[in-house]
Structure formats: C-alpha cells, structure tokens
Amino acid sequence: MEVWSLARLFGALVAFALAGFAGGTSVPGREGIALAIVFDTSGSMKDSVQDKDGNQSPKYVIAKRALESVADRLDAFVKSGEGGKRELAMCLITFQNGRPQEQIRFGLFDAAHIRKWAAGFKLPSGGTPLGESIRLASRRVMNSPLSRKHVLVITDGINSVGPEPVAVLLALKRQMEDLNTFVGYHFIAFDVNAALFSGVKKLGATVVGAADERQLGEQLNSILKEKILLEEEEPQGAAGVKEKDGNNR
C-alpha cells in the first residue's frame, strides 16, 4: 500500500510539472496582468503613412511613438493601484531574420526599457513571422502566475515566414482548454486591410484596423482601456476575447 501511494504521489507531481512546462496550470494565479507585445519590424514598416500632423512619415517611426504612448499608459496603470503598485509583467517581441526576437525579456514592467528600445530602433527589415511570434508571446504569458493574460499584436502585414497565425492559435486554443486558462489576443492591422485577419477573428481575437497615426493611437487606447487594463468585457471561453470590429481597409 505504501509503495502504491508513493507511486501515485510521484505521478501527480510529474503531471503537475508537465502542466507547468506546457504553459500554465489550472490553479488560479495571483492578481495581475501578463502582457506580451508583438511589434512588427519587417521591411514594409519603412513605408510611409499620414502622421498626426498630416504629413507622410515612416510607419515604424509612427509605431514607435505609439509604443511609447503605450508605455506611458501602462506606467500610469501600475502606479495607480490603491495602497501600492498594481502588478504588471510584460515582454516585447519583434522580428529578426525571419524569426521572433524577444527584445525585452518577460519580467516586471519597466517603462524605461520600452523607451530605450524605441529610441534605438532605426532599421526595419526582413519578413513577417507572425505565427511564430504569437506562439512565443503566448508561451511567455501562459507561463506567468498572473491571472490575466494578453497578447497585443501591431503589424502592417500578413504572415510571410513560418506557420500561419490561425494554425498557431488553433493549437494554443486546445492547450488553453486543456489547462483551463485564458489568453486574450488583440490585433491592430496598421495600414493593411483588417479583413486579412478574419481567420484569427473567427477564433475570438480582437481585430481592428488603423490607417494612420491618429487611428493607431485611438485603437491602442481603446484596446488598453476596454480589454487589457480594465477588462470591461468578460472572456468568451478559453479561445480568446470577444470580437470587436475595426476599420477594414
């Protein structure tokens, strides 16, 4: 009987470890937000669109300003907690040589890290590995003990390298169901037809469009306010968040 009990205990420990390795557990996490931002740095981000002053500016320059605004908004959120700071962990993932690159490693939020990266980035290049980047981003937030998990994608193109985002999200959906966890996915199609992302929208992701700097700022603010920080809408199962229409260009 003692041997059998030890065997069962060992099996339970192994199962628990494997669940954690896969990306999380069904045990409720501590209150806080785990956020991964996928920021498109492919060659097409050198193209220009209308900026806030009505002039033409490179998309990556506009997107960097938007990212800095996101850093300010997140910083205000962290510091606004009653009786102490709110817990927020994040990472920043970009593209490099057709592969996802974790420019800011997942950890406690620090606005200075985002501003430093934005100030130093000057040369978009290469393809768009959206699927692989989303997989990496999901792995980071799913491994976090924080209770609310989100992936925010800012991109000006469809996947051109590696697995398609739809295939990746389908696999992640099954994993989330197995682990009884939830990740919200939010796509901003920047200067590209948002309808091209209808596949991930059907899987429950938020998909919105932004044609210029003004719209990019508005869409980011809306997603942060309604989806990521305040969570005004309830999760719609383990697949992702409820649909939200955007500007289909």
Domains belonging to the chain, first-starting first, are: 27-229 (3.40.50.410)
Instruction: Pick the closest to residue 70 from 22, 62, 59 (CA basis).
Output: 62
The pLDDT of residue 85 is: 84
Q: At what angle do helices 2-22 and 165-179 cross, to 10 degrees?
A: 150
- 229-233: Cβ within 8 A, 24+ apart: 229/33, 229/73, 229/74, 229/77, 231/148
Length of the chain: 249
The pLDDT of residue 82 is: 66
Q: φ, ψ for residue 105 (rounded to 5)? A: -70, 150
Residue in this structure with the two tokens 């320059």, named with its chain if needed: 61
25: which 2 tokens?
Answer: 């557990």
- pTM above threshold 0.85: no
pLDDT, tens digit only, all 249 positions of the chain: 444 444 443 444 333 333 333 333 334 568 999 999 999 999 999 999 999 999 999 999 999 999 999 999 999 999 987 667 899 999 999 999 999 999 999 999 999 999 999 999 999 999 999 999 999 999 999 999 999 999 999 999 999 999 999 999 999 999 999 888 999 999 999 999 999 999 999 999 999 999 999 999 999 999 999 999 974 544 444 345 333 444 444
Q: Report how far residue 60's alpha carbon sits from residue 62's, in angstroms, rounded to the nearest whole number.
A: 5
The pLDDT of residue 178 is: 87
SS3 48: strand
The pLDDT of residue 84 is: 77
The pLDDT of residue 81 is: 78
The pLDDT of residue 1 is: 41
Q: Report how far residue 42's alpha carbon sits from residue 237's, in angstroms, rounded to the nearest whole number.
A: 33
Instruction: Pick the closest to residue 184 from 225, 217, 231 (CA basis).
Output: 231
The pLDDT of residue 26 is: 39
